[in-house]
Structure 1
C-alpha cells in the first residue's frame, strides 16, 4: 500500500502533471512536494560561496515558494493538502536521498531544463537518474 509519496516539482508542465497524477491516483496517500535548488558552487571560490550563503538560502526559499503556491492550489482544487520541503544541492541526488522515507516517487518525465542541450530524448536527465537509482518505486509522468 502506498501511504507516502514524494513529488519533485519545478516550474515545468510535466512536474505539474506529476502532482496531479499523485493526487488523483493515490487519494489516501500523504503527498510531499520537494523543490530542489542547486547550491552555489565551490568553483566560485570559498569567499564568494560564503558571502552568498545567507542570501542564497533566502533566495532558495523564495523561489521554492512560487512552486509551492502552485502545488497547494492544485491540491486545494482536488480537496487535498500537500506538505512542502526545499532541498538544496544536486536535484537527482537530493531526491534519491530523500526518497528513502517514502513509498514511491512520482516525477515528471522532463523538468524545466527541457530546452537545454543536455536534454534526453524521452526522459529528462533528473527523472532518468531518479528512476534508475531511487530506493523505492518511481512513477514517470509525461
Structure 2
C-alpha cells in the first residue's frame, strides 16, 4: 500500500483522472500534486540539473497556482487534503527527482498531457517517467 503518492498535474483531463484515481484507490495516502514549469532545452538545461531550481517570474508562479487550484478543489470534493508543489525544469526529470526528494512510494501519472504530439500512445512525459523512475509508476488511461 502506498502511503505517499506524487501526481504530476498539468490541468489536463488525463492528469485530473490520475488525481481522482489516486484519491479513490488510496484513501489513506498523502497525495502531492506537482506542477512543473517547463524550462526549454538549451543552455539552462545544461547548467541546471534536475535537483536545481532556476528563478521563475511571478507570472509563471501565478499560472502554476491557477493550474493547481482545480486539483485542490478535486481534493475537497473527495474530502481529502492535498499538498501541492511547483518546480522548474524538464518535466520527466523533475517528476522523478521530486518523487525521490519527497520519499513517495508511488507516482500516479496520466497517460498523456496537454501537448498535441505527445497524445500519441502513452505520451512522451509519461513514457520517460516510466523508464527513468526507480519508484513504481502507475499510468492512468
TM > 0.5 fold call: yes
TM normalised by structure 2 equals 0.85
The answer to whether the 8 A contact 2:31-2:82 is kept is yes
Equivalent residues in 2 for 1:1-142, closer than 5 Å: 1-39=1-39, 56-100=56-100, 101-113=103-115, 115-116=116-117, 119=118, 121-142=120-141
Larger radius of gyration: 1
The answer (yes or no) to whether the contact 1:106–1:141 under 8 Å persists in 2 is yes
Q: Once superposed, what is the RMSD of the aligned Cα atoms?
A: 1.8
* Ranges of 4+ aligned residues in structure 1 off by more than 6 Å: none
Q: Contact 1:99–1:135 (CA<8 Å) still a contact in 2?
A: no
User: Which ranges of structure 2 fall in alignment gaps of 5 or more residues?
Assistant: 45-53
Aligned in 2, Cα 1:61/1:134: closer, same or farther, shift over 3 Å?
A: same
TM-score by length of 1: 0.84
Give the gaps of 5 or more residues in structure 1. 45-52
